Chains A and B, each alone.
Chain A
Amino acid sequence: MKRNGAVTPYPISGYALCNSIGMNRHEVREALHAGHAGLGPSPIELPFETVVGAVTGKLPDLPAELGPWTTRTTRIARLLLDELGPELERLREAWRPERIAVLLGTSTAGADVTEMAYRQFLSTGSLPEDYDLFKQHTYGAVLHVTRELIGAKGPAWVISTACTSSAKPLASAQRLLDADLIDAAIVGGIDTLCSMTLRGFKSLDALAVEPSRPFAADRKGLNIGEGGAFLLVEREAEPVAMLEGVGESSDAYHISAPHPEGLGARLSMGRALAQAGCSSDSIDHVNAHGTGTKLNDVSEAAAIESLLGREVPVVSTKSYTGHMLGAAGGTEAAFSVMAIAEGFVPASLRAEPLDEKISVRIATQRIDGDFKRVLSNSFAFGGNNVSVIVGAPR
């Protein structure tokens, strides 16, 4: 239970996905297996060119009593909970509501609603009549809707650490289980496209005009995506995979640029390995942070090489979904579970010709096989790093 030693692995008993390549687990699996990306024109009007990973399927409405909390974020939450219906029914029968936590991550929350409401405010002097900061913008909104829809009464918070937001709840859940404060948790996160985020990354000169090319020699930046992923972590349950370890670290270097040698990344991966109680050669696959920016891909690859060697297959699934920011870590943890459950590592798209400065093995073709242990990286503004290790059921 202590940081310096291996921690108790907990079963991941279910997961749900929604993003630009699919509205559920099955659709996402088919797209990853076939190598089909979900990147296209932005549905948001922008004064520059880029492509995005937009969710294009129909999202469900909220029940009438939750109507005032309706946003794109909360509707994605409902879609994910609907997919988890049978698993949630069993979970509710197994554990008391006070022992079920809701631990989510987002970077945008309801920013998409607020930016349009504020635009109206600037032009008319008043907000839309149905705008409510606490029902539509803040973190409490998605927590309220999720708790109400599943009847959870335990701890509930949203982590917002930019691009690590939805990976860190896996660590929170692990700690609360270790500390015997909960018996089960819904973890993961949701982000939605909004104009401010797209323009913000443009201001940082980080957006690609075309579909992103993580690890490629002539990569030109990232694409922004949206969607979400929820995973169920329990004290005891029939596992799809096991949550074996989560390593967290800080670069202590720069607010928006990664450490050039990937020091923080190496620390988070090393801590995840220590928690999982496994050696570096036991990792079968890495789902990389792999944004497609010049700085990230080189420093991350250096960190992976120094800790895990050159042979482990590395993939950036952001080449399919775009960078889902606050939802990326949870989504890619779910992709890692899928690699174990479905027996394949998706191809890292558009990575060739590879950057010569990158010496790790980028999987440019799908690899079918038996994967026992997968590591997923997420790195963020503020120098915030998380590495999650999931393993095959034991």
Chain B
Amino acid sequence: MSRPIAVLGAGAFVPGFEGLEGWAAARPDAEFENPQAALVPARQRRRASLLSKAFAEAYAGALETSQLEPSEVASVFGSALGEAATMIGLLDQMWSETAILSPMKFATSVHNAASGMISIATENRGFTTSLGADFDTPAMALMEGIGIVFAEDRPVIVCCGDESPPDQLVPDGEGWSMLAAAIALAPIDQAPSGAPRVADLAVETATIKGFGADGKLGRNPNIGLLDLVTALAQKRDGILALDRGAGRGFTIRIESENP
């Protein structure tokens, strides 16, 4: 992919920061430890998983900054593990003596739970999808989004996230902390002049590094998308890695300023 694409907006949920702006400014705020998910009606929100709420928070940020029409915009959701915490809850029920599963938990254990919830909340009858590719999830979700922009000539919101993996299933020291990030992409001719751009999603050598997310947050499979929206918020240019060494090495070029 060599043609550039315009960036219309972005959002993020990082525990302890107020949205992307708070995160990119390195301004912690304990009030924002949990996702509010105001995009979603209260009744749905009560049933939503932590991951789905984090998705809703990041997605709302991208919607607000891009001014895209919520009921029309296409969406791509990416997650390496998806609703793994819900799955563990179901397995606990399944292997207990009663062995009865909660139908509501089962229905929301699917990987596309957030995608479905947000399409209902925004009354969007258009395209939405949900995918995963382990530590290449951000790169592949962007590739699916870029396919929509190029082939269908319309905007898309790409939203990636994972909550902490179940402690029971990963060795000590290999877990990560939760994040979700979202970016709104559009054809160049549908964006305001001067809008930042991305191009060249490929396996290249990175020239700029991700921002301030070492340790557990940096191990999140979706750190690459958070790095991308952070670099855009900080107006940094260059070739950015979409994983931090655990994926196939996809990178993307950022052009923050376009006179």
Residues of A with C-beta under 8 A to B129: 159, 161, 168, 172, 248, 384
B134 CB, nearest partner CB in chain A, Å? 3
CA–CA, A111 and B110, complex, Å = 12
How many residues of B sit at the interface, in one of the four size bands? Answer: 35 or more
The answer to whether B126 touches A250 (Cβ under 8 A) is yes
B47 CB, nearest partner CB in chain A, Å? 8
Q: Using known A-B contacts A3-B152, A127-B169, determine if residue A140 contacts B116 with beta carbons closer than 8 Å.
A: no
The answer to whether A143 touches B95 (Cβ under 8 A) is no
The answer to whether A118 touches B80 (Cβ under 8 A) is no
Chain B residue at minimum C-beta to C-beta distance from A159? B131
Point out the residue from A1, A47, A137, A249 that lies within 8 Å of B125, measured CB to CB: A249
Q: Using known A-B contacts A115-B91, A118-B88, determine if residue A203 contacts B127 with beta carbons closer than 8 Å.
A: no
Chain A residue at minimum C-beta to C-beta distance from B135? A140
**Contact flags A140-162 to B (C-beta < 8 A → 1, else 0):** 10010000000000011111111
CA–CA, A47 and B93, complex, Å = 14
Chain B residue at minimum C-beta to C-beta distance from A144? B134
A-B contact count (CB 8 A): 200
The answer to whether B169 touches A179 (Cβ under 8 A) is no
Stretch binding the partner chain, chosen from B30-38, B136-144, B190-198, B228-236: B136-144
The answer to whether B90 touches A200 (Cβ under 8 A) is yes
Residues of A with C-beta under 8 A to B141: 157
Within A320-371, the residues touching B (CB, 8 Å) are: none
The answer to whether A178 touches B151 (Cβ under 8 A) is yes
The answer to whether A157 touches B151 (Cβ under 8 A) is no
**Contact flags B107-137 to A (C-beta < 8 A → 1, else 0):** 1111111011101101111111111111111
The answer to whether A133 touches B169 (Cβ under 8 A) is yes
CA–CA, A181 and B94, complex, Å = 44
Residues of A with C-beta under 8 A to B39: none
Point out the residue from A143, A162, A178, A252 that lies within 8 Å of B110, measured CB to CB: A162
The answer to whether B120 touches A384 (Cβ under 8 A) is no
Within B163-198, the residues touching A (CB, 8 Å) are: 165, 168-170
CA–CA, A319 and B146, complex, Å = 38
Chain B residue at minimum C-beta to C-beta distance from A254? B120
Residues of B with C-beta under 8 A to A138: 80-81, 132, 134
Within A103-148, the residues touching B (CB, 8 Å) are: 107, 111, 114-115, 117-119, 121-122, 127, 133-134, 137-140, 143
Residues of A with C-beta under 8 A to B259: none
The answer to whether B116 touches A255 (Cβ under 8 A) is yes
CA–CA, A140 and B82, complex, Å = 13
- 15 A-B contact pairs sorted by A residue (CB < 8 Å): A3-B154, A140-B132, A157-B133, A161-B112, A172-B129, A176-B147, A196-B101, A200-B106, A205-B103, A249-B125, A250-B125, A252-B120, A255-B108, A380-B112, A382-B117
Enumerate the 6 nearest inter-chain pairs by beta-carbon distance, A residue then B residue, closest first. Answer: A382-B116, A140-B134, A160-B111, A179-B150, A200-B106, A175-B147
Q: Taking beta carbons and an 8 Å cutoff, which residues of B are in contact with A?
A: 1, 80-82, 87-88, 90-92, 94-95, 99-103, 106-113, 115-117, 119-120, 122-137, 140-141, 143-144, 146-148, 150-154, 165, 168-170
